[in-house]
Structure formats: C-alpha cells, structure tokens
C-alpha cells in the first residue's frame, strides 16, 4: 500500500506506473498469484492478492514486486523496500476503512467508495478477481454505505475536488464562480466530479480538453465545450481557472503557458489533481499564476468531528470482525465435506454388504434408512463444532483432530486461502510502504491514474 499517509505523492506515482495491467500480468506470469485486485487512485496504490495456499504468500509477493519493478522501471530491491505486507484480519479492517473514507486525505470523502467499486468491477471484467476478493470488496462497499447512512461522516459533501475549489475561491479576487471561465483537462471520474461541482457553484463557461479525443462525448452528457489541440491555447489564455484531472503523458509546460498567456490580463489559478501532474510544477512560479496541488488539498482538508469519526470507526471495526468470523467459518467447509464424504463412504460400503447378502428387500431399505438417519445425527454436532471453532480462529485444531482420529487429509479450499480475503489461513497480502525512508531514491516519477484518465 502506497498512500499519502506514508510517503509523498511523487513516490506513489512512481510505484503505480502500469497499474492498469498489473493484475492480469501477475496472474499470467506466476502460479503463486491466484487472484488480484488493484486499487489505484490519485493518492494511493494498493494491491490485494490471493495465493493458492498459505505457503505461496511469499512467492506471490515476490511475483508482484517483480511485475511492479518491470512496469515502473525501478529495481526489485527498491520496490521491495517500499512495500511491506499486511495479512489476516488487518486486510479487511484496512480496506473497509479505506472504502469508508477514514484513510483519505480528505477524511470522510465519498469518492473513494466509488473507486473501490470500480477496482472490483475492473478486476472482474479482466478475470483477475477471485471469489474471496469479490466477497472482500463487496463487504467493503456495503460497509461504506453503512457509514454514510448511519453517521454524519462526509455529510458536508467534502471531496478532494470540493476542497480544491474552496481553496481556489479563497485565492480569487472575485469569489463569484458564475463569472469565471474554466478549462478542465481529462474525462475520467475526477473530471466528472469537477464538472458537477463547477455547475453547483454556478460556473457555466467550462471547456474540456482530452488528449485522447474523448472530450466531445464527455461534454455531450455533462455540458461544456469540447476542445482540441487547435482550440485549447485560446481557451487557456482566456481562463480564470484550469483544472488538471487527466494524468496523461502530455502536460502543460511552464514556458508554454507563459507564452499562451502573454497578453492575458486576468490571474490564473491552476488546480492539478493528477497524480502524475497535468501541469509543470514550475507554472506556480509564473507571474499571475497560482498553483494548487494534491498536497495543497491534503494540508487544507478540514478535520471531521471526533464523534463522527468514532461512530464510523466502530462500524468499520464491527463489519471487519463479522467478515472475518464468516470467512473463518467458511474456511472449514472443506473439512466438513471431507468428514461427510468419509462417513458416507463407510456407510455405502456397509450397505453394499447388506445388499449382497439380503438383496434389495424391504428389510435392507429399512436398514439403510435407519443408518443414514443415524449418520446424519452423528454428523450434526461435529459440523456445528467445526463452525464454532472456525469462528474463533481454531479451524486448524478441528482439521488436526480429523487427521488424528480418522486419518482424513483435508485439502485447503480456494476460499480458505484467498489472500485478498484477509484471513490467518489465507495470509492475504496487501502491499504497503511505511518503510520508505527516502522516497527520492526511487527514481523519476511516472504514474497511471485510472480514475482520472
């Protein structure tokens, strides 16, 4: 996990280069990775993975590190130093908090819940989401809804975009947005949120540019005027505000902006919400230009009320605990099936002896009926006990008992070893990076923002 809370956003961008293809390539390249979901936003890069069995977790992590190194251009050693691994119940606790906005730069923001949902949808579409990861992410989305419905967290409608626009208002000589001309770069989720908030504030003179050529389709449903490379310079020259939400490879350079705005009488506020920078950081040094970045937003984000945070944290902790109990209970399914199969095989063998001696008579049918009823009753208590032990994290004790008493070897099920499902048996890794001491050592920035493209 690489987030704003641990390292600077430049480093997050470096690590997240190629994030869109990471899950697919990791599954194709290593049998140790059985499932993966990548959560890449403007201020975090997280990988939720599944290994086929607990012993494969180390190999799965190594495979992911290798793929990140290959896509980012950084060495395996640097990437490995930047990422550590979370396993067990910490995974569900973390993702539920993230989805609910408790781990955001703007605490309580609701955009992250949509980003978590889209991460799962993308993984399902690409065929990289295992059943355990699907359950984990669906539970995280439900928890986010519960937090939104049951607490005041996020009721002010704060988001990265809204805080950025508030900052722009404070810096403007004229706070009236209806009189402003805006240019938006990008057609992704953040661009959509930006368009909605600009409309709410009364800004109707909005132009949209996308280097991918998607601006016409974007403005057709959201309003505004589409720009191309020929009409962009004039719009920027006349703009009061330009907002970067694309994270594309092309960016507005300082010298280019200075040339375009040579004869522009009004000041310009440049809001760069792209992790990989839509605007050259040097534009902030130009006369008449004020540059706001994600770091500016993080520092300016207001604090939520302590009571709301406490309520939300309680909901998240309760949901994570319930998810873990359910996951643990499900982890003994294979053991229960193995015990039933063993018992029924013994019963079937004995019934074959009865039929061989007495034929398919009414008496034989009565014996079979009675034996099956008895076996069902005998299995009831061991089944209930299995789920009770599993809910307390003692499923290994139950499995060891089966092996000692009956000689039954229980093979781990896919659900029991789901890395992203966050369990002790699963040992599911969520890579994160509190160990980075010198982010600048990680090399030049290059990133990929799925939501802001």
Which residues contact residue 162 at a Cβ distance below 8 angstroms, ignoring those fewer than 6 apart? 197
Q: Is 449 exposed, middle or buried (0-12, 13-18, 19+ CB in 10 A)?
A: buried
The rounded distance, in Å, linking the Cα atoms of 177 and 105 is 25
Strand-strand pairing, 181-185 and 205-209:
parallel
DSSP one-letter code for 278: S
Is 290:171 a contact under the CB 8 Å cutoff?
A: yes
Which entry of 42, 203, 245, 428 is annotated as an active-site residue? Answer: 42
The rounded distance, in Å, linking the Cα atoms of 106 and 297 is 8
Structure tokens at 364: 């034989």
State the residue for tokens 């992590």.
61
The rounded distance, in Å, linking the Cα atoms of 301 and 162 is 10
Taken in order 121, 124, 130, 134, the sign of the CA dihedral is positive
Count of other CB atoms within 10 angstroms of residue 381: 9
C-alpha dihedral (281, 283, 289, 290), degrees to nearest 10: 0
Q: Is 349 exposed, middle or buried (0-12, 13-18, 19+ CB in 10 A)?
A: exposed
Q: Is 428 a catalytic residue?
A: no
Residue 195's nearest CA partner among 163, 221, 156 is 221
DSSP one-letter code for 301: P
- Locate all alpha helices (DSSP H) within 103-226, ordered by sequence: 111-126, 131-150, 160-171, 189-200, 215-222
Residue 45's nearest CA partner among 442, 435, 440, 431 is 431
Which residues contact residue 263 at a Cβ distance below 8 angstroms, ignoring those fewer than 6 apart? 237
Is 45:121 a contact under the CB 8 Å cutoff?
A: no
Count of other CB atoms within 10 angstroms of residue 10: 18
CA distances for 126 relative to 20, 96, 115, 341, angstroms: 10, 23, 16, 36
The rounded distance, in Å, linking the Cα atoms of 215 and 209 is 6
Catalytic residues: 42
């Amino acid at each position: 996990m690489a987030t704003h809370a641990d390292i600077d956003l430049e480093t997050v961008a470096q690590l997240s280069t190629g994030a869109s293809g990471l899950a697919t390539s990791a599954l194709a390249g290593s049998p140790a990775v059985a499932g993966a979901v990548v959560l890449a936003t403007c201020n975090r890069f997280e990988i939720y993975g599944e290994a086929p069995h607990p012993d494969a977790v180390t190999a799965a992590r190594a495979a992911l590190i290798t793929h990140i190194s290959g896509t980012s251009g950084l060495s395996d050693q640097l990437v490995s130093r930047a990422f550590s691994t979370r396993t067990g119940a910490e995974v569900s606790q973390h993702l539920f908090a993230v989805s609910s906005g408790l781990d955001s730069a703007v605490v309580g923001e609701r955009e992250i819940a949509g980003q978590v949902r889209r991460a799962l949808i993308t993984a399902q579409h690409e065929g990289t989401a295992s059943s355990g990861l699907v359950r984990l992410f669906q539970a995280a989305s439900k928890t986010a809804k519960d937090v939104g419905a049951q607490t005041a967290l996020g009721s002010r409608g704060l988001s990265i975009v809204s805080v950025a626009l508030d900052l722009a208002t404070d810096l403007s000589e004229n706070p009236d947005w209806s009189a402003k001309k805006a240019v938006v770069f990008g057609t992704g989720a953040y661009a959509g949120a930006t368009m909605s908030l600009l409309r709410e504030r009364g800004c109707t003179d909005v132009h949209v540019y996308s280097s991918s050529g998607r601006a016409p389709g974007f403005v057709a449903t959201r309003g505004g005027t589409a720009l191309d490379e020929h009409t962009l310079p004039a719009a920027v020259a006349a703009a009061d505000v330009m907002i970067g939400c694309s994270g594309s490879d092309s960016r507005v350079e300082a010298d280019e902006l200075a040339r375009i705005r040579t004869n522009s009488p009004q000041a310009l506020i440049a809001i760069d919400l792209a992790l990989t920078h839509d605007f050259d950081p040097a534009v902030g040094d130009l006369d008449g230009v004020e540059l706001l970045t994600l770091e500016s937003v993080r520092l300016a984000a207001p604090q939520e009320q302590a009571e709301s945070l406490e309520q939300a944290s309680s909901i998240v902790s309760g949901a994570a605990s319930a998810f873990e109990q359910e996951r643990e209970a499900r982890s003994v399914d294979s053991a229960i099936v193995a015990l039933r199969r063993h018992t029924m095989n013994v019963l079937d063998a004995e019934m074959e002896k009865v039929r061989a001696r007495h034929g398919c008579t009414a008496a034989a049918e009565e014996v079979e009926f009675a034996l099956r009823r008895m076996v069902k009753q005998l299995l009831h208590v061991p089944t209930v006990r299995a789920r009770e032990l599993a809910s307390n994290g003692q499923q290994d004790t139950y499995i060891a008992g089966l092996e000692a008493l009956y000689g039954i070897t229980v093979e781990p099920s896919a659900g029991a070893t789901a890395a992203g499902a966050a369990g002790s048996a699963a040992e599911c890794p969520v890579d994160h990076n509190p160990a980075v001491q010198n982010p600048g050592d990680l090399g030049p920035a290059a990133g990929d923002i799925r939501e802001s493209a």
